[in-house]
Every structure is written in C-alpha cells, then in structure tokens.
Amino acid sequence: MNPLALSNQLCFRAYALSRHITAMYQPLLKKLELTYPQYLAMLVLWESDGVSVKQMGEQLMLDSGTLTPLLKRMEEAGLLQRKRSAEDERVVHISLTDKGKKLKSKAAAIPGELQKCMGFSAEDYLEFMQVSARLLKHKNV
Amino acid sequence: MNPLALSNQLCFRAYALSRHITAMYQPLLKKLELTYPQYLAMLVLWESDGVSVKQMGEQLMLDSGTLTPLLKRMEEAGLLQRKRSAEDERVVHISLTDKGKKLKSKAAAIPGELQKCMGFSAEDYLEFMQVSARLLKHKNV
DNA sequence: TGCAAATTAATTGTGCACAATATAAATTTG
DNA sequence: CAAATTTATATTGTGCACAATTAATTTGCA
C-alpha cells in the first residue's frame, strides 16, 4: 500500500466527507437563511442561550477570529444579540432574539431530512460517531 | 435523544474531525512550506504528474474557483508549472518542477508521523475508512 | 458547413478558519 | 497596592471553499 496515495489518506477522507455533508445541508439551510457554521452556532444557542463567546468557541472548537465576525453577521440578520457582561467586561454574552428562537422549530426537521437524503442507516451513524470519537480523543501531543 | 443537540450531530463530528486532523498536519507541513490543501494537490501530482485542472478537481472534489488561485500560489512557490494544452486550449495541465518532485521524499515520512501523533490504531484507520466510504456513497440526491 | 450546446478555466464576491497581534479588563504577586 | 501575568475578545492578513458569472474553445448535429 502506498502511504502517499490520496485514496489511502484518512485526512482526505475526513476532509471530503465534511465538505460533502456541508454541501448536503446547504439546500436545507438556505430555507433558514443560515450558512452551515451559522447553523452550528444556532445549535449551541438553542441548547444554551446566553453563552459567552469563549464558551461557544469551546463547544465548536473555533476561536474569536472566526466567531466574532460570524456572530456580527448573525446579529445584523436579527438572530441574536451580543452584550458585554456587567460583572466581567471582558466577556460577551450571546442571546437569541425572538426571531432566533423561532427558527428552532423550522430547524427541527433538518436532521431527519439530512439522514434521508444522505441515505445512511442508524448503524452507520453509530459506527461513525464511535470511531470518530476515538480519532478525536488524542488531542494533546 | 435530542436530534438538534450538537453532540449528536454527525455533521459536526465530521467537521470537527476534519479540522482537527488538518491542525495535526500543520506543524509537519510547515517543514515543507505547504498548506494542507496544497499538500493534497501535491499528493495528486506525485501520483499523476501532468493532470489537468479538471482532473485534479475531480480527485479532490474542488472546483476551479478554489484550484486556480491555489495552483497559482504553488506555481509562484516554484513547485509546479501551469501550461495550456496545445490540442485543446481550454485545458490547463499541471506539471511538477524538480523542486516539486524532490519534495516527495521529504513528504514520505508524514503519514507515519501523523498516525503516531494522532495515536490511532490500524483497526481504527480501517474502520474509519470503511464507514466514511459508506457515508460518501450516496451522492446523487 | 454553420451555429447552438457543451466543456474547461478564470474571475468575482462572500464567508469561513486560523495564525498573529492588539487591547482592555481582571487576577495574581511581590 | 502597584506591577506583572492571565484572560476574553477584537483586529489584521492569508488562504481556502464555493456559488455565480464570464470567456474561450470545442463538439455535435441539423
């Protein structure tokens, strides 16, 4: 086996799969007027409204260089508000607007639609989640 | 199970894994002065020097909007040459320079180093390759 | 043959990612 | 308590991704 062959690269497979999934989401998210990273931010907020930028960054594994402009665009779209904390002025809390909260019911259909159009089974889902968790485990080199 | 929970999203897992792997490559690729997508382009060229932009795009699943500027940067770095075909002037062929060819021996160590620093087993590798292939199979919706 | 349709790249514009740096506020220390 | 350090976010700059459009060829078929 040639270790430099593209088809043998775990890295390329993960990269291609991620972009493929994002592409599958795109038509579904267009209805909500969200990009894929914006959808991920909404998932965090629907679970834990009011998180700080740092907390969101920890969940999504993204830094402020990515999140600050993304959240500003979402604020302009009327989905959320950014407010600096009174107790600790370094912290910015993100809270959903009514518009942002209402979007959740529309989004509820998305996971099912995606599974249908990607055509994977519950077993594939589980196996992928397990093996990818193992690959993500060793983070501190 | 909450289908909108971030931790249950196959999409987020794939996205996080892909970015995690790219981050693991980054210090290794820095020695070669390549970005991660540039490394993928080199993998294609080391396997099939002289491919067209279209062929490279098919292998990497990237379009000319991504590849054209990427290849121009690599041409400026002296790794490859872009030449319009004489038979069909729409086609641009990409061929490695000596510098580009020589980089292959340096790159040979990378897959092993990556596996070591990510700490996954041959079984994990195989299982991931298999399940991700199944997830990628259903492309035509 | 002649021209519409298809093919291949390039361009333009928007939105991430992320490294590096800056800034300001809070905390720790001497 | 002042200086040094740490923490949280913002800014800047580079490099992808990708949709949409454009331009130059080539092909296919009436």
User: How confident is the model at residue B140, as a pLDDT?
Assistant: 43
Could you tell me the two tokens for A130?
């397990």
Evaluate whether A31 touches A108 at the Cβ level (below 8 Å). no
Q: What is the mean pLDDT of residues A7-25?
A: 96
Q: What is the mean pLDDT of residues B74-87?
A: 97
> CB contacts < 8 Å between A and B, how many?
163
Say which DSSP state B119 is in.
T
User: How confident is the model at residue A79, as a pLDDT?
Assistant: 98
Distance CA A129, CA B17 (A): 11
Q: Which amino acid is at B135?
A: L
Pairwise pLDDT comparison (A75 vs B138), residue with the higher score: A75
| A-interface mutation test, from B101, B128, B139, most A Cβ less than 10 A away | B128
CB < 8 Å to B35, chain A: none
Could you tell me what percent of chain B has a pLDDT over 90? 92
The overall average pLDDT reported for chain B is: 95
Other beta carbons within 10 angstroms of residue B3's beta carbon come to 14
Long-range contact pairs involving B69-74 (C-beta distance under 8 Å, separation at least 24): B70/B37, B70/B38, B70/B41, B71/B41, B73/B38, B74/B38, B74/B41, B74/B100
Whether the pLDDT of residue A44 is over 80: the answer is yes
- Is the distance between the Cβ of B88 and the closest atom of strand D smaller than 7 Å? yes
Nearest CA in chain A to B105: A4
Report pLDDT digits (tens) over B92-139: 999 999 999 999 999 999 999 999 989 999 999 999 999 999 999 865
Whether the pLDDT of residue B85 is over 90: the answer is yes
User: How confident is the model at residue A137, as a pLDDT?
Assistant: 85
Closest nt to residue B94, judged CA to C1':
C9
Distance CA B53, CA B93 (A): 6
Q: Which helix (H) or strand (E) holds B30?
A: helix B10-30
Domain ranges of chain A: 38-107, 109-141
User: How confident is the model at residue A58, as a pLDDT?
Assistant: 97
User: How confident is the model at residue A140, as a pLDDT?
Assistant: 43
Residue B64 phi, psi (nearest 5): -65, -25
Q: What is the mean pLDDT of residues B33-43?
A: 98
Q: Which helix (H) or strand (E) holds A76?
A: helix A64-76
CB < 8 Å to B109, chain A: none
Report pLDDT digits (tens) over A91-116: 999 999 999 999 999 999 999 999 99
User: How confident is the model at residue B141, as a pLDDT?
Assistant: 37
User: How confident is the model at residue A1, as a pLDDT?
Assistant: 81
Nucleotides of C under 7 A from a protein CB: 7-13, 15-20, 24-27
- Is the distance between the Cβ of A102 and the closest atom of strand D smaller than 7 Å? no
CB < 8 Å to A44, chain B: 6
CA-based radius of gyration for chain B: 18
According to the CATH classification, is domain A38-107 in 1.10.3720.10? no
Tell me whether residues B15 and A11 touch, CB distance under 8 A. Answer: no
User: How confident is the model at residue A141, as a pLDDT?
Assistant: 38
Q: What is the mean pLDDT of residues A37-44?
A: 98
Could you tell me the two tokens for B95?
């061929």
